[in-house]
Amino acid sequence: MSSVHQATYQEDASVQKRRWLILIVLNLFTFMSTLDGSIVNIALPVLSVKLGLPMAQVAWVTTGYLMAICSFILFFGRLGDIAGKIRIFKIGTVVFIVGSLLCGISGTLPLLIVSRVIQALGASMTMANSQGIVTDLFPADERGKALGLIGTFVSLGSIAGPSLGGIIVANLGWEYIFWVNVPIGLIAIGLGWKVLPKDLIRVKAKVDITGSLLFACFIVALFAGLLLGQQHGYGSTGILLTLCAAVLALIAFLWVELRKPEPLLQLNLFKNPLFSLSILCGFLVFAANFCFNIISPFYTQNMLGLSPSSAGFLLMLFPISMVVIAPLSGALSDKIGSELLTFAGLVVMVIAQFGLAQLHAGSTVELVGVWIAMLGVGSGLFQSPNNSLVMSTVPRTQLGSAGSVNSLVRNIGMVVGITIATTTLFGVMSGMAGYRVTGLIKGRPDIFLAGMHVVFTTSASICLAAAVLTGWRFVRTKQRVRVEVRQQRPGEGRG
């Protein structure tokens, strides 16, 4: 496997002049593609009424989107390394806009789900390659800041969905949560075609079709098992068989990848402990954050008695805090390194999650706002340096693969977080009620609050595990640096 051309964008003055404009284009599609993973949730009750279908069926509008992204994202990351990351990103922008347009005119559930899959294909093309483009484009002393902004827009899109979707659905109708992408996307496409440079790095390799199919089988079986288990319980034979099929598909995928000369997933990436630990911590943080994302709308509206719009504005403290902190954290990581900042961010998140676990029906809005904002600050401190750690450890010929792995674990983290939150919440509530519970019980806020406390304690523990891992890495790195300094001193003295 050899690279065709080893020139860099840092050598091209015209590209460097417009690098921040290119980042705006990348961020617009990053924001829209992640926003569309969560913005639909608020419209599901409306869609259920309009299409005359139960909520469990309509929920596949969200699930199908996330499932398709995770199924295809490794494929498009590898294809970006082979065919060119910028070329695949450009195609993805067009596919995403076409899918968004089709979603808004879909009058039946099957057509809407197909349109969502088309939209997800485009989203996975852009998600898989945007981080690799940024890493290629920006010099090392600005990379943390640039990746930090990408990370900010990822989290902003993920978290801002419910509140922004509520405003759009209330004032315009459910179709516009999809159609809003079209004018913004067309402007971004027009700008992107002008400012995006040609690909410099491509790899001579074949696409791993067998690996791609096995990985898609793993994702479909995993998501179907987890999400059907949430609805019907995990004791069903069919659901257990589905989850077993997911495990077998994953084992088969890894077996094939280890024997392929040109695999879909470059497993040698995981030999680097810095890359592996950063990927693992990113997964844990997204799982913890989506526990908050699922529980917080119920708590703010049903326990605190806030209107949907007031609850939306309160929850916006999370993304607003991230927008302020993440770019500063990214810029700071370029100067002092990323490891201390990731650890600090996780410690702040642990404190915020334990704070959320102490809330009750009589908590003040101000106190709730403090914990939500603090969670956003911790996430902002963590995300940018962690993205920088992931991407800075990878050879240029594998940037597409690394970026797609980073995006993949983020999306799987979202689904796992939703699964942990709902399974834990309804499990605790069912235990207290004495029968199977799948929603709020009228007149029994104590049962919901008991479940919520366990969910937030669980998400705090997830963040704590990530903090312990990053703290251990930080201490080990400092010890290694001290040893290297001591080894250099005798040589300097003799010189």
Q: Are residues 335 and 222 in the same domain?
A: no
Residue type at position 261? P
Q: What value, to the nearest 5°, has the Cα angle with vertex 241 and ends 235 and 243?
A: 85
Specify if 5 maps to a domain.
no
**pLDDT band at 1; cut points 50, 70, 90:** very low
Specify if 457 maps to a domain.
yes
Specify if 411 maps to a domain.
yes
Specify if 4 maps to a domain.
no
Specify if 125 maps to a domain.
yes
pLDDT value for 366: 94
pLDDT value for 377: 93
Q: Are residues 114 and 251 in the same domain?
A: no
pLDDT value for 231: 67
Q: In terms of pLDDT, which residue wins out, 480 or 123?
A: 123
pLDDT value for 348: 96
Specify if 117 maps to a domain.
yes
Q: Which of 239, 263, 287 is the last residue in one of the domains? A: 263
Residue type at position 180? V
Q: What is the mean pLDDT of the chain?
A: 82
**pLDDT band at 91; cut points 50, 70, 90:** very high
Q: In this predicted model, what pLDDT tens digit does every residue of 93-135 receive, in sequence order?
A: 899 999 999 998 887 888 988 999 999 999 999 888 887 888 7
Specify if 2 maps to a domain.
no
Q: Which of 220, 246, 263 is the last residue in one of the domains? A: 263
Name the pTM for this structure: 0.78
pLDDT of 58 higher than 90: no
Specify if 273 maps to a domain.
yes
CATH of the domain at 367: 1.20.1250.20
Q: Are residues 460 and 383 in the same domain?
A: yes
Residue type at position 217? C
Q: Which of 217, 246, 263 is the last residue in one of the domains? A: 263
Q: In terms of pLDDT, which residue wins out, 264 or 374?
A: 374
pLDDT value for 369: 94
pLDDT of 234 higher than 80: no
Q: Are residues 86 and 111 in the same domain?
A: yes
Q: Are residues 191 and 244 in the same domain?
A: no
Q: Are residues 309 and 275 in the same domain?
A: yes
Q: Are residues 191 and 256 in the same domain?
A: no
- What CA–CA distances, in Å, run from 199 to 39, 89, 196, 436, 453? 33, 11, 9, 55, 50
Q: Are residues 248 and 277 in the same domain?
A: no
Q: Are residues 135 and 215 in the same domain?
A: no
Of 63, 164, 53, nearest to 422 by C-alpha is 63
Q: Are residues 225 and 157 in the same domain?
A: no
* Three-state SS letters, the chain: CCECCCCCHHHCHHHHHCHHHHHHHHHHHHHHHHHHHHHHHHHHHHHHHHHCCCHHHHCHHHHHHHHHHHHHHHHHHHHHHHHCHHHHHHHHHHHHHHHHHHHHCCCCHHHHHHHHHHHHHHHHHHHHHHHHHHHHHCCHHHHHHHHHHHHHHHHHHHHHHHHHHHHHHHHCCCCHHHHCHHHHHHHHHHHHHHHCCCCCCCECCCCCHHHHHHHHHHHHHHHHHHHHHHHHCCCCHHHHHHHHHHHHHHHHHHHHHHHCCCCCCCHHHHHCHHHHHHHHHHHHHHHHHHHHHHHHHHHHHHHCCCCHHHHHHHHCHHHHHHHHHHHHHHHHHHHHCCHHHHHHHHHHHHHHHHHHCCCCCCCCHHHHHHHHHHHHHHHHHHHHHHHHHHHHCCCHHHHHHHHHHHHHHHHHHHHHHHHHHHHHHHHHHHHHHCCCCCCCCCCCHHHHHHHHHHHHHHHHHHHHHHHHHHHHHHHHHHHHHHHHHHHHHHHHHHC
Number of domains in the chain: 2
Q: Which domain holds residue 71?
A: 10-207+264-494
Q: Are residues 254 and 315 in the same domain?
A: no
Q: Are residues 233 and 127 in the same domain?
A: no
433: how many CB neighbours lie within 10 A of its CB?
Answer: 13
